[in-house]
Structure 1
């Protein structure tokens, strides 16, 4: 029986992939609807490994999809909705062409099909944990659209929905104290929350005026927003019901118009009847969390607690502050090559009450929205600000005696005075000699906004004097980047991470640079004098005698000496350094014995800093040379394959060490400049 020949392009990779043009024809929809459907279903283009086999030798740029994914889309109910929408769009266009605007409006109002994505959410996320894992991009996109201005591409209704969903999610994070870390970056503010064991990170842009360019396709972004709003609505409902809260929470539109934002939402427990509006539903799903009733009771009593709360005594505040500054136990490394144990983190109870004892007041120049969210997420229930910033503040008067911490971010003048509070310049033009702030409330702590972020990232209250107004702030480092062994760590001092002899080499280098600068200055200033001297030289003065024969003899002697001692240069230098070190130790011991015999104190050794640095550098070079020799002997015992692998490892280590040394060198220069300025 003859075996049938297979036709080319019908099996293998050519059958597993399909072009976008063929996929659109197969689904019988337009290209924009195809893109929209793929975004909803989570289907993305694929790149074949062997593209020539799929394209039958063609090299044209083509977009491919899995054939199985396109076959899966054939049974999607949204295809019918897209076709209905296309038919109604034709009727509306025909009515507008006839000038029947009323009929077109009626068709658009009653016949345009409503698209729901509930079934797609259930298909893509069979479990709730899957939805939480895919929440990072959704939150970043919705927070971005919540800050955009309304335009023809971004309708105001979409912005309002995004703001509402984002504030609902923030309320859940505040209630459960799920926020863990935050970081101020150039792009915006990063947040990380831990919800049901899943770390969720999202980015919130700064509230600047957004100017969208013409190269942004808002139709694609709008499709993602449409899907993400449905997803976050499902997630918020599940999160609220899990801890026993009513969803959606009550929304005060009037307070939101006055800038209330988070304060415009009022949370209620399922088993709590608040003001006769909430009713208990026996058919409602029960709370999964066993602590849901406790959380519901706390939420029910929150309003009364905020209104009737008394001022905390100063003694209790100081006690709590000292309590919070105590760090948790740390596992120190016992040896340089020992394993680094994971450091213990603060418990959720400590995190929840980090800012609980304090009352904060936000100055007008500080970012109110992120500070309010972070302070409330870490336990503070008393956050106030000026009434012009919006409604919902705990206190609106800056002179309120209950305020314990005030966050300010005002620029200072060169002499330390505040730019906004400085009086007009005097007649002589002298700057006012007054430090910021002009008048401070006694018993109140003034800090810059970075203090809040650094406190939550380290899990403890930091020293407020380091973040005082006008002070030079410590570096704000990412809490997710940890320095590895051998890398530059900005949190450590230079003495803890520099190599042996590195500081001495830096001092010698600085001395050489200073000497070269002085010599260059002398040359620049003495050119004219040198020219005058050369022009006034008398006959025979300053002229060299022709000693060509002596020079040739000296050069030949030096060459012979160099040839004879070329191989012993290193050993002789080592021996000289060893002898000098041994002799120095013997002389030091002799001086100690003499001082002990005479009963006089030991006088400090007389020596210049340059000689000491040279000795330290010689010792470090000797140690480094011995380590290299030992490493070379060990390499000789390895196979060729392992030796090549070790060579690549050493290349990476040397590159890392070079970068770390350059950063330490830069920091040492900055410290030197800072000391010189002081």
Structure 2
């Protein structure tokens, strides 16, 4: 007979372990256990069947893999945690006896230093693995770099995060790795491509941060401690890969004056030079020594003239191929072939997008993100007002070398600006000492300078080309700022495409009809409201006034002797004509609006026959815009109804399982179409309001 297995010793019960048992097995405190799990990348797991794992209990319990906890038993940090606990006990005992000096000495000399170098190597065996996990690290460091110094967030941690973030931004600027950026409610998103890996991180806006009491800064501080070590390793590898010395020189005085990026000075790692202070551009030249160049010249002189020409031609072609920055285009091979998306610009074109320009940032614009983006896309000369900090190319707004000025102020109305024609004294262009006056926007602008709003910079880099600056002029209504990572799919609303290309057949006509009905209802409501106000203001006499307004003949407005006679004559003529007879066609147009299209066609044919028999010309039917819209809408509805019937017939041929799947697909499509239709209606109303405002 086989040996019976004890319950809870095999299967899922053995694969999982509770947090309480894990802490007891590791013999550390719960905060140290959480800290160790964050360092090692071990997270709680949810078993499929909690009853089997917890032996029938359904209480809320945190589970971990048993193998993960077994893996933690051999972690060297466990000894550091135990040493830290022992020293903490000694410090507490010394403070209890009043020996403050001994406590300070123990904390300074005996407190163990925790290093995470070996954990970084374990979790990221290759450099590409570290780059893939850099998104959360950069977002966390940029967040802590903008926090104020508090009891839970020490100033040393904030300074370390700021230094690492600025070092990473310097690498992105030097390597031209930045690709896209987006202004959102949460902050500014950036995407850089480094060694083939897309890295996306979030930078919060520079507002006053207020930290709530429900945030566990101990957990976040543990993540920051790990991420600072990781980003330090990554920055070192990135700097050395492009021939730069790490860490860069730091100017504390410039940093105190608000230099930020300018507080760091990059140095090239020279190869074959004596001082090793070569810049990044001189590194490749320093690799070739004089002896190697002499040997190459000697071999080239011994070669035959023809062979020398062939070699030079081949070298020229190779250089041309290497220096070719033109991007490849994908042409369709057949008429009905798929059209592949074409690349917008090469990396070299993107790196020099703002290279020929000199920018000046007004004091109301966000200096840090603009400086970072402009320099990452090739701009070498960025100036700003002296109040924004140190490190500007120029602080003089009237500098003639400035080509673009970024302004984020609304334009003043023309009435608030002085008119030189009405002013007795002309504008002074110079001060009393002969120096030029400083340009003061918006009362005066510098000639030959382009004034744009900050969104122009973001839209240019996202579309990989320079956009029209007049669309982003100060005070102009800006185009929509859309996320560069969200591409509209088929059937979805696209704000960049005109409405005529997105709306379905008959949608515009239906909207006009709805708007016409709404306008009529609004007019009726306004009339009713005016009548009610009149009644309330005039009392009982107001009722008579309304009756008089509706029936002016009885009220005596414009009444003459022939008025009542003409009215009685018209009534008698109606009686003689016979209102209830077959010959009266007073409501024919209203009846035709309710009949079908076939009946309307039959009646039109009957009129043509009668006109042909009597010899009279058939009067053309005058159709209003509403009638034409109704016809287009009816045709579109009929067409959609036929397509829906055909689709239902096709669904009948499917199996039950496939019909259910198709039903779920159609539900998602209908929901998407309704959202797109609502957005198109909203845009159509906005455009209609703009047209009406411009017309007035």
**TM-score relative to the length of structure 2:** 0.77
CA distance in 2, matches of 1:401, 1:582: 78
Output aligned runs, 1:67-146, within 5 Å: 67-146=66-145
CA contact (8 A) 2:258 2:388 kept: yes
Residues 509-554 of structure 1 deviation map (CA, whole Å, 9 limit, x = unaligned):
111111111122223334548944899999xxxxxxxxxxxxxxx9
> CA separation of 1:636/1:495 partners in 2, compared to 1, >3 Å: closer, same or farther?
same
CA contact (8 A) 1:416 1:436 kept: no
> CA separation of 1:293/1:362 partners in 2, compared to 1, >3 Å: closer, same or farther?
same
CA distance in 1, matches of 2:328, 2:635: 39
Offset of residue 639 of structure 1: 2.6
Tell me the equivalent position of 2:194: 195
Q: Is 1:386 matched with 2:388? A: no
Residues 434-480 of structure 1 deviation map (CA, whole Å, 9 limit, x = unaligned):
x9611000000000000000000010011111111111111111101
SS of equivalent to 1:26:
helix
SS of equivalent to 1:676:
helix
Tell me the equivalent position of 2:409: 410
CA distance in 2, matches of 1:619, 1:48: 58
Tell me the equivalent position of 1:223: 222
CA distance in 1, matches of 2:595, 2:665: 33
Offset of residue 505 of structure 1: 0.8
Tell me the equivalent position of 1:367: 366
Offset of residue 607 of structure 1: 4.0
> CA separation of 1:611/1:39 partners in 2, compared to 1, >3 Å: closer, same or farther?
same
Offset of residue 344 of structure 1: 1.8
Which shows bigger deviation, 51-60 or 265-274?
Answer: 265-274
Q: Is 1:454 matched with 2:459? A: yes
> CA separation of 1:506/1:327 partners in 2, compared to 1, >3 Å: closer, same or farther?
farther
Offset of residue 625 of structure 1: 2.1
Tell me the equivalent position of 1:489: 494
> CA separation of 1:279/1:411 partners in 2, compared to 1, >3 Å: closer, same or farther?
closer
Q: Determine which of 612, 617, 639 is the counterpart of 2:655.
A: 639
Q: Determine which of 566, 573, 576 is the counterpart of 2:596.
A: 573
SS of equivalent to 1:32:
helix
CA distance in 2, matches of 1:256, 1:148: 17
Q: Is 1:520 matched with 2:525? A: yes
> Whose radius of gyration is greater, 1 or 2?
2
CA contact (8 A) 2:268 2:277 kept: no
SS of equivalent to 1:437:
coil
Offset of residue 624 of structure 1: 1.5
Q: CA RMSD in A?
A: 3.4
CA distance in 1, matches of 2:604, 2:459: 48
SS of equivalent to 1:648:
helix
SS of equivalent to 2:190:
strand
SS of equivalent to 1:364:
coil
SS of equivalent to 1:191:
strand
Q: Determine which of 508, 512, 523 is the counterpart of 1:507.
A: 512
Tell me the equivalent position of 1:674: 690
> CA separation of 1:252/1:573 partners in 2, compared to 1, >3 Å: closer, same or farther?
same
CA contact (8 A) 2:166 2:261 kept: yes
Tell me the equivalent position of 1:546: none
Q: Is 1:610 matched with 2:600? A: no
Offset of residue 574 of structure 1: 4.6
CA distance in 2, matches of 1:633, 1:609: 36
Output aligned runs, 1:215-614, within 5 Å: 215-271=214-270, 278=276, 293-294=283-284, 339=338, 341-412=340-411, 415=413, 437-526=442-531, 528=535, 531-532=543-544, 573-576=596-599, 607-614=623-630
SS of equivalent to 1:202:
strand
CA contact (8 A) 1:328 1:346 kept: no
> CA separation of 1:581/1:262 partners in 2, compared to 1, >3 Å: closer, same or farther?
farther
> CA separation of 1:468/1:97 partners in 2, compared to 1, >3 Å: closer, same or farther?
same
> CA separation of 1:355/1:116 partners in 2, compared to 1, >3 Å: closer, same or farther?
same
CA contact (8 A) 1:136 1:201 kept: yes
Tell me the equivalent position of 1:659: 675
Which shows bigger deviation, 249-258 or 363-372?
Answer: 249-258
CA distance in 1, matches of 2:603, 2:479: 44
List runs of 5+ in structure 2 lacking aligned partners: 288-325, 420-439, 536-540, 555-579, 581-591, 608-619
Offset of residue 572 of structure 1: 7.7
Offset of residue 650 of structure 1: 1.7
CA distance in 2, matches of 1:62, 1:33: 19
Residues 178-223 of structure 1 deviation map (CA, whole Å, 9 limit, x = unaligned):
0000000111000000000000000000111111111111111111
> CA separation of 1:453/1:580 partners in 2, compared to 1, >3 Å: closer, same or farther?
farther
Offset of residue 293 of structure 1: 3.4
CA contact (8 A) 2:411 2:442 kept: no
Offset of residue 273 of structure 1: 10
Offset of residue 342 of structure 1: 2.5
Residues 540-595 of structure 1 deviation map (CA, whole Å, 9 limit, x = unaligned):
xxxxxxxxxxxxxx9xxxxxxxxxxxxxx9998253577799999xxxxxxxxxxx
SS of equivalent to 1:575:
helix
> CA separation of 1:328/1:618 partners in 2, compared to 1, >3 Å: closer, same or farther?
farther
CA distance in 2, matches of 1:417, 1:50: 75
CA contact (8 A) 2:360 2:406 kept: yes
**How many pairs are equivalent?**
576
CA distance in 2, matches of 1:227, 1:570: 75
Q: Is 1:12 matched with 2:11? A: yes
CA contact (8 A) 1:269 1:296 kept: no
Tell me the equivalent position of 2:562: none
> CA separation of 1:395/1:581 partners in 2, compared to 1, >3 Å: closer, same or farther?
farther
CA distance in 1, matches of 2:450, 2:286: 34
SS of equivalent to 2:379:
coil
CA contact (8 A) 1:20 1:63 kept: yes
CA distance in 1, matches of 2:82, 2:606: 97
SS of equivalent to 1:136:
helix
SS of equivalent to 2:166:
helix
Tell me the equivalent position of 1:551: none
> CA separation of 1:212/1:392 partners in 2, compared to 1, >3 Å: closer, same or farther?
same
SS of equivalent to 2:596:
helix
